Structure 1
């Protein structure tokens, strides 16, 4: 693993350089977290020949100092575009979890030439679910996740800080209330929407709705997983991504 910082964003890279003609995959974390909980999946995708980049989003964890206050979803997507261009990356497959899916939707809508496919794992937030209920669902997910993930998440939340987390949550709620679904409808690349079978945050009905919103959407479910299926079932997720990856951008088995 190589660790660098570009346009203020702390970035982990697994596998070869993205400039060596290999598939490039970007993993986008959820609310208040860092890219650390994507490491198990990143290692498996890199073993399949991909160049995998895992940034901490601006204002979060080790990219906390990149901004003075928590940016909204659109500003986060634009910061990701600057990061993408600074690294001179090719068109990438973007894989996100939870609110990271909202960032990817905004990114793909605003910067379509930089994206050749998207994978949305446990997309949040459902605009029809009240904020207090969203919090309840997140709390209900905690005992369904591996203890090691809870340790990573707790450390990341403390590093990001409660004020940044609260501000980011408000931004995510506003995005979910309107822009998120509009952005989904503007995604023109193949999209895989994944749900852990035990996910209390992203319901089956909501996942189906997300898949219908995009132009080319399909659904997969991961048994024995909850909201962070990429962490608890990285082998299954890597296999799903390899099978899904658009032709010409494949990750070897």
Structure 2
């Protein structure tokens, strides 16, 4: 599905009243492609799934001239919700996409019924150099397929735009991320791959404690992109969470 300058993939039945779409939000410099394994499993369970490439990234790279900041990305996503008559529905995010998701849920709470934050980054108070070091440490723990996909996406988005997005995200982590989390009222599940070197267990539990209704869970054998390396486990967790079942 496309609209001017803003690409998104669709899986499962089209959204309609009474069956809202589940939106999956990628991390910094990437596209929605690494969410495809999870999207297909969610769609197989009957969900309507929308996987955008955020403005400035992947196939939406030409949508903007400069890298948007986190708040601008959240507002652009909210406009997409309205354009497609989405929401309120579940919102699933990974890594720096969790900052975008938190901003969306805080600014536009009527659009989000449930929030799933997978490997939330960036952690406030951690320097950019340390954050980058954590990313490098995580790489050997991820599947080779993800590494090749990510390398291609980073090249498409471009190093300058990735660097600008990283600066925006660090500023948001320092100034707004925790504030936005405190404003989230949607039930929230914080998922962390047990081998994640980017989002620490302490930080994941803090995120769950900052929102009004949150809990944290680890997925054994997964790292930062748990939705890619363990899509079946993720789909099961999301299904139980959005259905209100204990997980």
**So what's the TM-score if we normalise by structure 2?**
0.97
Q: Look up the SS of the partner of 1:143 in the other structure.
A: helix
Q: CA deviation at 1:7?
A: 4.3
**Residue in 2 aligned with 1:184?**
181
Deviations 1:110-162 (A, max 9, x none): 10101101000000001121110000000111110000000100010000000
Counterpart-to-counterpart distance in 2, 1:158 and 1:130? 24
- C-alpha separation between the residues in 1 aligned to 2:17 and 2:124? 41
Q: 1:212 aligns with which of 209, 213, 220?
A: 209
Alignment of structure 1 residues 26-45 onto 2, 5 Å: 26-45=23-42
Report how far residue 21 of structure 1 moved: 3.4
Aligned match of 2:155: 158
1:171-250 aligned within 5 A: 171-247=168-244
SS in 2 for 1:118: strand
Residue in structure 2 matching 1:169, options 143, 166, 169? 166
1:186/1:214 contact within 8 Å kept = yes
The residue number in structure 2 matching 1:66 is 63
CA distance in 2, matches of 1:18, 1:111: 19
| Contact 1:22–1:49 under 8 Å retained in 2 | no
User: Residue 78 of structure 1: SS of its match in structure 2?
Assistant: helix
Gapped regions of structure 1 (runs ≥ 5): none
Report the CA distance between 1:22 and its aligned residue.
Answer: 2.4
Q: Which runs of 5+ in 2 are unaligned?
A: none
Structure 2: distance between partners of 1:220 and 1:137: 20
* CA apart distance, 1:246: 4.8
- 3-state DSSP of counterpart to 2:191: strand
1:56 to 53, 57, 62: 53
Q: For 1:5-16, what aligned pairs fall within 5 Å after superposition?
A: 5-16=2-13
User: How many pairs were matched up?
Assistant: 245
Distance in 2 separating the partners of 1:15 and 1:23: 12
Q: Structure 1-normalised TM-score? A: 0.95
Q: CA RMSD in A?
A: 1.1
What stretches of structure 1 move > 3 A for 4+ residues in a row? none
Any residues of structure 2 matched to 1:96-115 within 5 Å, and which?
Answer: 96-115=93-112
Q: Which residue of 1 aligns with 2:139?
A: 142
Q: Does 1:47 align with 2:48?
A: no
CA-CA distance at 1:20 after TM superposition: 6.0
Residues in 1 aligned to 2:202 and 2:34: alpha-carbon distance in whole angstroms: 26
